[in-house]
Structure formats: structure tokens, C-alpha cells
Amino acid sequence: MSDIKKIKDEFLVKLSGDLKIENVSQIKSELFGKNGKISNSFKNLKSLPVEERKKFASDLNILKDELQDKINKKIQEIEITEINSKLENEKVDVTLPERNIVQGKIHPVSQVIDEISSIFSEIGFSVEEGPDVENEHYNFTALNTPDNHPARDMHDTFYLDDKKEFLLRTHTSPVQVRTMLKGKPPFKIIAPGRTYRSDSDQTHAPMFHQVEGLHIDKNINMGHLKGCLNYFIKSFFELNKIKMRFRPSHFPFTEPSAEVDIGYELRDGKIIIGEGDKWLEILGCGMVHPNVLKNVKINPDKYQGYAFGIGIDRLAMLKYGINDLRAFFETDYRWLNHFGFDPLDVPSNYRGLSR
């Protein structure tokens, strides 16, 4: 049998099998690749006697076209079979009843953190974060809190080791220290997050949320602090005017220190924020103590500024009429469905987050 006939019979048999695209590619290179049977036969032409050469070349060309044609047809055939089987297997029955989709809700605390972040970002604050597990230095010492301060007591603080070196942060204030150590003044940041204290009743939970604020620059004074907080409280409660008072207080990391109360009244058992002759404490603040600045290698004669710490859960309760703090952390889906927020429903005062 001639070489041509051998190649033809061998490959027609191969191509008639049940093949995948990869198999066809393999066959193609066996024929037409660098050392393929057809390619080699062409190379061998030269060694044939002249009289045979012409006929062999013409037969080889015919075989080449025939096999090429077979290969193309085979590829087409495989592709069509694949498409048909996909159409067969992947069809969607649009008459089937829809699946029951349970849509999640945004927790009021997350919602309020977003609102707070967007309000402060409008006046130039950026958002920082710090770890929940802190060390004693950042949580207390660097914040000018003396060794005998009651906050350091086991009754107040969850320590994680016997040496009292690691703890669950009792406030977001250590983020002030971390931020100032990480960069150079000026600083204008807020830091929302979880905080922990050994406390639990209707208005206290062992885990709760705070947002810290810190603004350090040249010539920052208490007037800036007052302006900033007034702007924030009005924006947050969506009010044009708000009654607000600064009450002298004490925090080791600020001097002078103050607590801020806002005015409210009770109408039909509901708290109405803004007016009235009752006062509600909502935050602690003050001018950052020179010792805190020295602890992070900032010269207090050159830079100064204010800080504040706001209880987020309390704000959420006031704004959205929730009266038991513990419900926040009970993960009751019915409660969340009622008090939570639709992720696609943008609240009227939402200004968009520019984190």
C-alpha cells in the first residue's frame, strides 16, 4: 500500500471516532505539525525519482486538502454537539415558582456609623480604625491615665492576661494615640468602633460602640470644638437649631474637659430632641492634654487641638426611638427586620460616604 493511502486510511479512522476538540488538535499536529506525517512527506519529495515526484506531490496535495477538510468538519460537528447539549441541559423553566428570598437589613448601629462618618467627612475628617484587643499602654498610659485610675480596675476592664498587659479596649481613645504615632500633624480624624466594659443592665452592655474624634493643628481652640460638635449634632438629628451645653468634667487625657448635654422634652412619652428644659448627656470632650501630645512626640507648644468621644448606641436609640440597648446585641431577626434599614433605601439625610 502506498504511503498516501496508509496515511489516509489511518487518519480517516482516527477522525471518525468520538472526539473532543483537544483530540482533533492532537490529530492536526500529528499531520501538519513540524514533524507531522504530511509535512514530512513533503520534505521527502526531493528524494524521489523525478518521474514519481510529480504524481506523488499532486496526490499528497489532494490528501492534504481532504484531511484538512475532514478536520474542519469534525471541529464544526463537535461545536454544534456541545451547543446543543448546553441548550438541552441549561434551559430555565420560567414557569417555576420563584424562590423565597430573605433580604437582610442594615443594623441601626451600622446605619448610624455610616451617617456619622458621612457628616464628619463633609467637614474634612477622615476615618481611622484601631484593634479591639489593645495593650495597656495605648488604652491607658499613653492617654495620661494614672496607675490608680478606677478605669484600670478589673471591675471595669476585661483584661486578657494576668499581667494586665492586654485588654479589650475600654474606649476608642487609643486610636488617637495610634493615629498620632503613625503620622505627622495636622490630624483630623474620627474613629468609630466597638468598645468593652464589664457592665450590663438596661442601659449598659459589656460591648458597645463609640466614635472618637481628634483634631490637632496649630491654633485649634475650644471654639472650634464647639462649632464642630454643634454642626454634627444638628446634622445628625436633622435640626436647624439645637440646645447644647458644655458641663465641666474630668478626663485624664483632656484639659480642660467637658461633657456635652443636649436639650430635650418629653411629648406623649416620646423624647423630642432639640428644645425643652431637660438635658441629656451625649458625649465627653476637651482639649487634648499636653502630656498626651508629649507621649506621641508632638510639641504641645506648637500643636494643640480637641478630642471627643461619643456613644453611638445612645445616638441610635435616640434618633430611631429604640428604648432597650440590649436588643441591639440579641441578634433577633424579627427585631432587625423592624428596626433595620433597607440597604437599597437611601435615607433622606444620607450624604454618601467618602471614605
Rank residues 11 and 140 by Cβ distance to ligand DAH and give the closer one: 140
- CA-nearest of 315, 323, 325, 320 to 339 is 320
Ordered DSSP codes for 333-344? HHHHHHHSB-TT
Closest CB 148 distance from ligand DAH, rounded Å: 18
Rounded (to 5) percent helix, strand, coil in the chain: 45, 20, 35
214, 189 Cβ separation under 8 angstroms: yes
Residues in CB range of 203: below 8 A, 6 or more apart: 325
309 makes contact with ligand DAH (CB under 6 A)? yes
Q: What is the smallest separation between the CB atom of 322 and ligand DAH, expressed in angstroms?
A: 21
284 binds ligand DAH (CB under 6 A): yes
Nearest residue to ligand DAH by CB is 309
Instruction: Judge contact between 353 and 125, C-beta under 8 A.
Output: no
Q: Which is nearer to ligand DAH, 208 or 264 (CB)?
A: 208
Exposed e or buried b for every residue in 294-319, given b needs 16+ CB within 10 A?
A: ebbebeeeebbbbbbbbbbbbbbbbb
Part of the chain binding ligand DAH (CB under 6 A), chosen from 40-48, 182-190, 303-311, 342-350: 303-311
- Using CB under 6 A, which of 254, 292, 316, 318 touches ligand DAH? 254
130 lies in the binding site for ligand DAH (CB under 6 A)? no
Nearer to ligand DAH, 229 or 242 (CB): 229
Amino acid identity for residue 286 in this structure: G
Helix (H) or strand (E) holding 295: helix 290-295
CB 350 to ligand DAH: min, Å: 26
CA atoms of 19 and 30, how far apart (whole Å): 15
* 172-201 footprint of ligand DAH as x/- string (CB under 6 A): -x----------------------------
Distance CA 346, CA 352 (A): 9
How many residues in the shown chain lie near ligand DAH by CB under 6 A? 11
The answer to whether 305 contacts ligand DAH (rule: CB under 6 A) is no
Beta strands (DSSP E) in 40-186 are 126-127, 133-135, 166-168
- 307 binds ligand DAH, rule: CB under 6 A: yes
Choices 1-9, 17-25, 63-71, 306-314; region in contact with ligand DAH by CB under 6 A = 306-314
Minimum separation from the CB atom of position 293 to ligand DAH (A) = 13
Q: Find the shortest distance in angstroms from Cβ 215 to ligand DAH.
A: 11
The sign one gets for the Cα dihedral 195, 197, 200, 201 is negative
What one-letter code names the amino acid at 211?
A: V
Residue 144 near ligand DAH by CB under 6 A: no
According to DSSP, the β-strands at 207-217 and 187-196 are: antiparallel
Q: Which of 112, 205, 285, 293 binds ligand DAH (CB under 6 A)?
A: 285
- Give contact residues for ligand DAH (rule: CB under 6 A): 171, 173, 212, 251, 254, 284-286, 307-309
